[in-house]
């Protein structure tokens, strides 16, 4: 049996690995950044730097991310209005730069409901590393030990404060340079594991075609990106689409040219940002720069999820990036000295370093039920219009914000902003549900009132449900569940 997996993002990668471990003949079709670039040059496109002013993660300001984004924006054509849409034409897709926050505790119930078999659970365990941040700190330093007790004391049913679990290989971590905003071999997804036993075709799928007679044999039109502009057709028994919520929508709309009965939506998370002071939860001098602590908070009518990210790491990264941009590298050693100085005295209570190591950037993730963003397809192009529900801002400022601050205070977490920053729509980078009306519970595609069991959409696009916590780990587990019965 020959299976095509379209897309080599984190879902396509895990799915291809799983299927090849089960003995299937798998071909994963997805472009690399280099070949996408070659293809664009060949088409005489001019590369543009389309860096958008999105204040969400210093990662998005990295030079390599900007380069990758500007190539990808031309390669995957789309037009957005009040929406930050990111698709990356590279191995591992968005996960090449992700925060690796698996949100294990908050996703536990959802993943349990998937009822994965023993083999599937073992497979996920073997492929994705899970590192408990506070446990790691406690192991490395006696001073951090009290933090674990603190977590145990504070965990209640209504309000769960947890150590972050990151997709990081502990044995690849360098103690003096723990993973953060820059490339790191320790972060799962940052580099592509070439030890694979399936075939990769470096190209983009233009179209999925059906054999009209028996609909059993499926054909892909594949556009190689190697500069020769080669197109070829290949036949498969199964097609698994893993192009991300935007990419999968584009491919299905282009291939089957149907008119949606209702307008299609794209779910995402509204995101608020603030600074919080956590006097009893300092991060160590050497810390992970992404989420260190997660909080699942059940307010009266809403669930929110908060990622606490050390402020010091972000400040350092922002300063370095601006020095690099302005090419004033001689200031770098001075900045390093200042940070060393701050860190050296940071154990002295009430010193500037003591305060700084207790301040976190807090990203507050709200439920996707507040979003009303639309996606549609016309003449080869995707259009996305960002929208929140009516009165979203009033609801946030009058309901969510005051009750969240109160709950935080009960747990000795002190918010430092009068009002939160409302981050641009789509900049949470979690997209879902674009194709849920075109698929059944198994992810099979609905075409002409027929569910095609041999075409499945495995990524977040076929899911109506979107967990509030960072959702990627759930969507990986769900993708494996959807194909676990394939024989």
Query: Is 241 a binder of ligand FAD (CB under 6 A)?
Result: no
Residue from 3, 11, 366, 413 in contact with ligand FAD (CB under 6 A):
11
Residue from 94, 218, 309, 435 in contact with ligand FAD (CB under 6 A):
94
Of 184 and 346, which CB lies nearer to ligand FAD in the complex structure?
184
Query: Is 436 a binder of ligand FAD (CB under 6 A)?
Result: no
What distance in Å separates the CA atoms of residue 430 and residue 246, rounded to the nearest whole number?
11
Query: Is 129 a binder of ligand FAD (CB under 6 A)?
Result: no
Interface region with ligand FAD, contact rule CB under 6 A, candidates 81-89, 232-240, 261-269, 390-398: 81-89
What distance in Å separates the CA atoms of residue 313 and residue 319, rounded to the nearest whole number?
10
Residue from 3, 4, 5, 8 in contact with ligand FAD (CB under 6 A):
8
Quick one: which of 444, 486, 271 has its CA closest to 364? Answer: 271
Count of residues that interact with ligand FAD, criterion CB under 6 A:
37
Query: Residue 477's Cα: distance from chain center in Å?
Result: 14
Residue from 3, 10, 281, 384 in contact with ligand FAD (CB under 6 A):
10
Q: What are phi and psi of 386, to 5 degrees?
A: -80, 140
Q: How far is the CB of 251 from ligand FAD (least distance, A)?
A: 5
Of 97 and 401, which CB lies nearer to ligand FAD in the complex structure?
97
Counting Cα atoms < 13 Å in the Cβ hemisphere of 198 gives 29
Quick one: which of 278, 279, 301, 259 has its CA closest to 402? Answer: 301
Query: Is 293 a binder of ligand FAD (CB under 6 A)?
Result: no
Query: Is 131 a binder of ligand FAD (CB under 6 A)?
Result: no
| Residue 209 and residue 447 in contact, taking contact as beta carbons nearer than 8 Å | no
Interface region with ligand FAD, contact rule CB under 6 A, candidates 84-92, 292-300, 415-423, 438-446: 84-92
66 three-state secondary structure: helix
Of 57 and 439, which CB lies nearer to ligand FAD in the complex structure?
57
Query: Is 273 a binder of ligand FAD (CB under 6 A)?
Result: no
Of 190 and 454, which CB lies nearer to ligand FAD in the complex structure?
190
Residue from 31, 180, 386, 426 in contact with ligand FAD (CB under 6 A):
31
Query: Is 35 a binder of ligand FAD (CB under 6 A)?
Result: no
Q: Cα(first)–Cα(last) distance of the chain, in Å?
A: 9
Residue from 471, 478, 480, 483 in contact with ligand FAD (CB under 6 A):
471
What distance in Å separates the CA atoms of residue 306 and residue 167, rounded to the nearest whole number?
18
240 burial class (0-12, 13-18, 19+ CB within 10 angstroms)?
buried
Sequence-distant (≥ 6) Cβ neighbours of residue 399 within 8 angstroms: 299, 300, 301, 302
Sequence-distant (≥ 6) Cβ neighbours of residue 442 within 8 angstroms: 453, 456, 482
Query: Is 15 a binder of ligand FAD (CB under 6 A)?
Result: no
Query: Is 59 a binder of ligand FAD (CB under 6 A)?
Result: yes
Query: Is 268 a binder of ligand FAD (CB under 6 A)?
Result: no
Q: How far is the CB of 384 from ligand FAD (least distance, A)?
A: 14
Scored b (16 or more CB within 10 A) or e, 208-238 reads bebeeeeeeebbbebbbbbeeeeeeeeebeb
Q: How far is the CB of 480 from ligand FAD (least distance, A)?
A: 13
Q: What is the DSSP string of 253-290?
A: HHHH-PPPSS-EE-B---EEEEEEE-TT-PPPSS--SS
Query: Is 89 a binder of ligand FAD (CB under 6 A)?
Result: yes
Q: What are phi and psi of 168, to 5 degrees?
A: -135, 135
Q: How far is the CB of 396 from ligand FAD (least distance, A)?
A: 22
What distance in Å separates the CA atoms of residue 130 and residue 167, rounded to the nearest whole number?
5
Query: Is 481 a binder of ligand FAD (CB under 6 A)?
Result: no
Q: How far is the CB of 434 from ligand FAD (least distance, A)?
A: 11
- List interacting residues with ligand FAD (CB under 6 A): 6-12, 29-31, 57, 59, 86-87, 89, 93-95, 97-101, 204-205, 242-244, 247, 251, 429-430, 459-460, 470-472
């Amino acid at each position: 049996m020959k299976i095509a997996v379209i897309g080599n993002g984190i879902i396509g990668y895990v799915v291809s690995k799983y299927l090849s471990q089960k003995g299937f003949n798998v071909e994963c079709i997805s472009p690399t950044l280099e070949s996408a670039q070659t293809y664009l040059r060949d088409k005489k496109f001019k590369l543009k730097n389309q860096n958008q002013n999105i204040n969400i993660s210093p990662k998005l300001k990295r030079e390599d991310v900007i380069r990758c984004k500007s190539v990808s924006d031309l390669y995957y054509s789309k037009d957005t209005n009040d929406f930050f849409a990111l698709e990356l034409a590279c191995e591992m897709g968005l996960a090449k730069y992700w925060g690796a926050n698996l949100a294990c505790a908050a996703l536990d119930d959802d993943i349990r409901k998937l009822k994965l078999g023993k083999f599937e659970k073992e497979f996920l365990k073997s492929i994705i590393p899970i590192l408990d941040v506070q446990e790691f700190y406690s192991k490395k330093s006696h001073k951090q030990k009290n933090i674990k007790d603190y977590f145990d004391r504070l965990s209640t049913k209504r309000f769960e404060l947890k150590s972050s679990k990151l997709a990081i290989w502990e044995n690849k971590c360098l103690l003096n340079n723990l993973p953060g905003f820059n490339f790191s071999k320790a972060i799962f997804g940052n580099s592509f594991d070439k030890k694979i036993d399936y075939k990769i075709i470096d190209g983009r799928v233009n179209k999925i075609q059906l054999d009209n007679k028996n609909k059993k044999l499926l054909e892909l039109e594949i556009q190689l990106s190697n500069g020769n502009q080669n197109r070829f057709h290949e036949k498969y028994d199964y097609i698994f689409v893993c192009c991300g919520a935007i990419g999968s929508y584009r491919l299905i709309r282009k291939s089957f040219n149907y008119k949606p009965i209702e307008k299609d939506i794209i779910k995402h998370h509204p995101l608020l940002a603030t600074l919080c002071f956590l006097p009893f939860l300092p991060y160590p001098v050497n810390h992970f720069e992404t989420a260190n602590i997660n909080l699942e908070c059940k307010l009266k009518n809403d669930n929110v999820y908060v990622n606490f990210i050390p402020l010091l790491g972000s400040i350092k990264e922002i300063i370095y990036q601006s020095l690099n941009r302005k090419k004033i590298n001689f200031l770098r050693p001075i900045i390093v000295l200042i940070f060393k100085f701050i860190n050296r005295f940071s154990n002295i209570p009430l010193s500037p370093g003591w305060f700084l190591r207790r301040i976190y950037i807090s990203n507050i993730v709200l439920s996707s039920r507040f979003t009303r963003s639309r996606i549609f397809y016309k003449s080869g192009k995707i259009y996305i219009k960002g929208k929140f529900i009516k009165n979203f801002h009033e609801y946030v400022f009058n309901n969510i914000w005051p009750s969240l601050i109160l709950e935080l205070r009960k747990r000795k977490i002190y918010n430092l902003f009068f009002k939160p920053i409302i981050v641009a729509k789509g900049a949470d980078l979690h997209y879902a549900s674009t194709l849920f009306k075109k698929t059944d519970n198994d992810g099979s595609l609905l075409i002409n009132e027929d569910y095609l069991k041999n075409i499945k959409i495995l990524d977040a696009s076929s899911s109506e449900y979107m967990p509030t916590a960072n959702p990627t780990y759930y969507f990986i587990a769900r993708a494996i569940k959807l194909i676990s019965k394939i024989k």
